[in-house]
Structure 1
């Protein structure tokens, strides 16, 4: 009873007083005359980036420029919500960019958003598809599509289950109406949704996280956590006295129970014992038991192996419902990262696109003799991988129309990962063996977002050299600089493989090899562009089409990071008659 009274006293002291135990020291800055000429309210983005306790470090410049661009999109969304306008006139745009520059310099003095991030006033003043107002946007988009946006985005977007459908319909609108490479066209659907479709508005934390990838904890939330910690200290002391006896009793009971189960398989669901159980119940993913996995793969029979790699083996299997699946079994795993692994798999599995391999479920378990297990379960693709068809023992070669279909599908899948998924996903390992083909030869990208789960003792360099030499971008191989354009490089290599039927690394003789990119570059420089193309491929397209594909592949493999196009630009080039310059 005294302990109970002590808890009540602690609660009353913590929460009855209107005076906060932890006070913030931030004051809203006074706007000077120059700032007042800018009609944009940058205070709405301050709390997400600049006042956040999780401030970005700005070590990875391309990533942080993307974060700052998303900040501008959020501010523009708020402006659209207030005024009904997407764009500003040129003079206020220059002033607003100066205001944003000063705000950025509060966080990192050396960063010039004009020279480093290539921001200029046209980002705020130039329109996309001549859309400058809310009514012009709504006049461009079909009524059913607008209704779908309002239906899917007019809710709290804080959870993946509500965010993902909204993102999907916005990305579809982007692909249909805003593939123009001007004035941040890709942001228009998200700016509109945050301003006018979502009831919470762009300044809401869930909306900012979902539509603008600004997932930072605000100062007020952080202060509340500090206050809760201070209050929890005396409460915890009292509860500790009570709980100690209970813990000892439960430990004794568990020990007795464990002794009775010593012959059964011990499943340890994540490193914190209960981590995976906290994953959202809204997901359609199945958490398989290790016994179910063993049964599906005939106890990991060698006959069921359909793929091997540095990460482990891939098995084909049949689930109890009769469906065929592919099961990737990672090796050299520990339970320490299971909670993160399970969450990431849930996030990745919530991303749906016709050119991404659908996830079915996963398994994490610690079993006697075999150690810790980490397995993902995906749909089985009946036609295997692109590598099998290009370089395996297949008798029939892929015709050019099929190869063209594969190239466009892979480009769409990567563009969705980069610009449709929130947060954006870099595949990291684009290669022919990671492109699977269904029964209609529709390509499906596999392994997206999972490269971070390779064994800890495998460095990026050792993994790449051992498994995918020839696909990795120079800046990633040499300096560890990873961006979306690293995936573009890998796509360019795959496109060269489709065109030439040659592997990423060409064997000249027993002692010498040549990168496919170097071989293709040398031919193009010599004016022998069409020599890149395998003349034995059936149903080749017109010369101008084949020339465009070769030039696009060469440009995508450019050694300079920013000389490569983005994946959304590549999709637009492949789907239209736009030439490659």
Structure 2
């Protein structure tokens, strides 16, 4: 035991010997790239903090968003979207700044220097060019929505919605006021502009960077971050002074060990609090129920195999019975980590706020970490006893649906999607419309499921994605090939499901000898030859009037047109489906030769004229081969 009168002397000597001695030199901060590049890579370094993305898609997303962030800084300093023509290469400094190598694909950045040095997106080069292209009303909307602290989810959502509207209306190809057809980088221009011109703190503000560019700043070091080096210094000094100050060193070691444990416990508690903070905020703004893990485990009989009623790339869907006797469907996401809780909270909050008779409503959610299964995230919905549309069309117990039932399902799908596109705020693009995501209640009323939940990835806030979400056979061509995502991407998927509903055939079937059956090409060929009614499934129970059924086929053919501008909006498609009368023939642009066409088809297409029969010869006129810029409306609407 230390004597009281010797303890001050011992402690003084100990402090001299026990100064923190670093065992290894600290890694030097990433050095800024050569100054020749006009972009300020030094400002990017704080936003490249761990945890680092592990998959190629996420790495590409961070790389492309980093370029947009740097351009926003450049725009704030120079009022120019493009770099000087004599600027040195910026691709090499970008590779050096990123804390991981770019994937082999290069993330589409191989031509970065040429893109940065040349005007793009309607020849928008300066702030003045952007102001001339985007009307004052739209710019005022951007300023009103983005001129604030964007750390809160509602504020960030409002800003993102204003930027998406501006991009869709004035910058993206296919929009009514687009000035060119080159969409490279156009979708990022509103975010670049907002960070430089609208944000009061500039693009380097952590909240602004996270909202506009999905870049998370490295948090400032806490007091506990210096505990580990200090302990190493104490241990080294204790060994050097062990012969003279063994008792005092032992006392100090015990004290510091206790403090370290307390700091570690506090840090862990703080981490758990931050991890669940986003999820706790949901209950404050919605009527969702936060279920416990034990509640859901009991409802699904311990996640028993017999309780599984569906599965997919996300995980399994279980049938459950809650304590009050309510039957629910539990969607359990696999391979979760706490790092994704913030994105999950945002998506659940948006989805929970959307209510419509033709949308599956969320009843609640669950988030928990267990020792055996790890991090868990689940959503709980009402159980649809008639299963999904896939079950009735292609499942083991498939059955013939009568025409009135198919008609009700088609209109229900259209109403649900039209509400997502125009009724919800912000608008939601589903991205994965397919028969298994169309659920049917006891009255065979269609309920669109899984809307919004495909947007967990960082690119969910933009209309151009580096990772395409969807299912083979249902993804729109422009989305699959170029990552261009619009509401009409959902229209294409809706058209595929509608044709499946009417014909009873799958969207894509691989045949023998390398041949393939593509539903859209087959349906279009019949429509083209005036044999529209042959698309309808043979032997349908209680068929409807021929002209009415043909009208539904035409809507499916229009919605699946390969060219984005030729498709109707969901509101236009719904208006046609709900009409009691059959409208006069629609003006439809010619359809390109199908991808799977053989030589005979190509020759027939080349020799054919621009007109053909949209409907059977029983009373409908031929359609007009319209110019590709024609609107998809009936003649009496023009």
Shift of 1:212: 0.8
Q: In 2, are the aligned partners of 1:276 and 1:338 still within 8 Å (CA)? A: no
Does the Cα contact within 8 Å between 1:163 and 1:210 map onto a contact in 2?
Answer: yes
Distance in 1 of aligned mates of 2:189 and 2:323: 43
Secondary structure of 2:517's aligned partner: helix
Are the equivalent residues in 2 in contact too, given 1:435–1:443 (CA < 8 A)? yes
Alpha-carbon offset, residue 577 of structure 1:
3.8
Structure 2 residue 145 is the aligned partner of structure 1 residue 154: no
Residues 207-286 of structure 1 mapped to structure 2, 5 A cutoff? 207-215=208-216, 217=218, 227=226, 229-231=228-230, 238-239=254-255, 241-242=257-258, 277=276, 279=278, 281-284=280-283, 286=289
Q: Which residue does 2:201 correspond to in 1?
A: 200
8 Å contact 2:39–2:70 — kept in the other structure? yes
**Could you give the per-residue CA deviations for residues 427-482 of structure 1, whole angstroms, max 9, x where no partner exists?**
7x653212458999674435834999xxxxxxxxxxxxxxx8877999xxxxxx99
Residue 520 of structure 1 corresponds to 519
> What secondary structure does 2:281 align onto?
coil
Helix, strand or coil for the counterpart of 1:308? strand
Matched, 1:174 2:167: yes
* C-alpha distance after superposition, 1:111-145 (max 9, x if no partner): 87877467743785134496843644774434773
Indicate which of 85, 88, 94 corresponds to 1:104: 94
Counterpart contact for 2:195–2:203, Cα < 8 Å:
yes
| Residue in structure 1 matched with residue 63 of structure 2 by the alignment | 68
Cα 1:123–1:172 shift into 2, 3 Å: farther
Question: How far 1:211 moved relative to its partner?
Answer: 0.9
Shift in alpha-carbon separation, 1:401–1:298, aligned structure 2, 3 A: closer
Structure 2 residue 450 is matched with structure 1 residue 445: yes
CA distance in 1, matches of 2:215, 2:261: 44
Q: Does 2:561 align with 1:551?
A: yes
Contact 1:313–1:329 (Cα < 8 Å) also in 2: yes
Corresponding residue pairs, total: 477
Distance 1:520 1:45, change over 3 A: farther
Q: 1:377 aligns with which of 376, 380, 391?
A: 380
Quick one: structure 1 residues 128 and 45, their matched pair in 2 at CA, closer, same or farther if it must change by over 3 Å?
Answer: farther
On the 8 A contact 1:307/1:315 being kept in 2, the answer is yes
Whether the aligned pair in 2 keeps the contact of 1:156 and 1:207 (CA below 8 Å) is: yes
SS at match of 1:186: helix
The equivalent residue for 2:496 is 496
The 1-side partners of 2:188 and 2:485 are apart by: 22
Which residue of the other structure, out of 363, 366, 369, is the alignment partner of 1:363?
366
| Residue 141 of structure 1, aligned match among 133, 137, 140 | 137
Q: Which residue of 2 aligns with 1:24?
A: 28
Q: Does the CA-based 8 Å contact 1:389-1:397 persist in structure 2?
A: no
Secondary structure of 1:551 counterpart: coil
* Change in 2 beyond 3 A, CA 1:545/1:112: same
- Structure 1 residue aligned with 2:72: 77
Partner-residue secondary structure (3-state), 2:92: helix
Tell me how far 1:155 sits from its aligned partner.
0.6
Shift in CA distance, 436/205, structure 1 to aligned 2, threshold 3 Å: farther
The Cα offsets for residues 486-517 of structure 1, whole Å up to 9 and x where unpaired, read as 99999866642322433537899xxx899997
Residue of structure 2 in register with 1:267 after alignment: none
2:406 to 380, 388, 397: 397
Given that 1:287 and 1:361 are in contact with CA atoms closer than 8 Å, whether structure 2 keeps it comes out as yes
Contact 1:349 1:358 in 2 (8 A): no
Shift in CA distance, 100/542, structure 1 to aligned 2, threshold 3 Å? farther
**What is the CA–CA distance in structure 2 between the aligned matches of 1:529 and 1:67, rounded to whole Å?**
46
Residues 37-52 of structure 1: pairs in structure 2 closer than 5 A: 40-43=38-41, 46-47=44-45
CA shift in 2, pair 1:234/1:486, >3 Å: farther
Return the alpha-carbon distance in structure 2 between the equivalents of residues 366 and 115 of structure 1.
39
Instruction: Please report the TM-score for the alignment, with normalisation by the length of structure 1.
Output: 0.57
Shift of 1:328: 0.8
1:290·1:363 contact (CA, 8 Å) conserved in 2?
A: yes
* Contact preservation (8 Å) 2:289, 2:364: yes
8 A contact 2:410–2:498 mirrored in 1: no
Distance in 2 of aligned mates of 1:301 and 1:205: 41
Q: Please show how residues 300-319 of structure 1 align to structure 2 within 5 Å.
A: 307-309=309-311, 311-315=315-319
Q: Are the structure 2 counterparts of residues 74 and 371 from structure 1 closer, same or farther at C-alpha, using a change threshold of 3 Å?
A: closer
What residue is the counterpart of 2:577 in the other structure? none
Q: Measure how far apart 1:100 and its partner are.
A: 1.8
Aligned to 1:477: none
Deviation for aligned residue 1:149: 0.9
Q: Normalization by structure 2: what TM-score?
A: 0.53
Q: Deviations over 1:10-52 (max 9, x none)?
A: 9x977xxxxx9846354444534xx4xxxx4333554157x76
Match 1:287 to one of 286, 290, 303: 290
**Which entry has the higher C-alpha Rg, 1 or 2?**
2
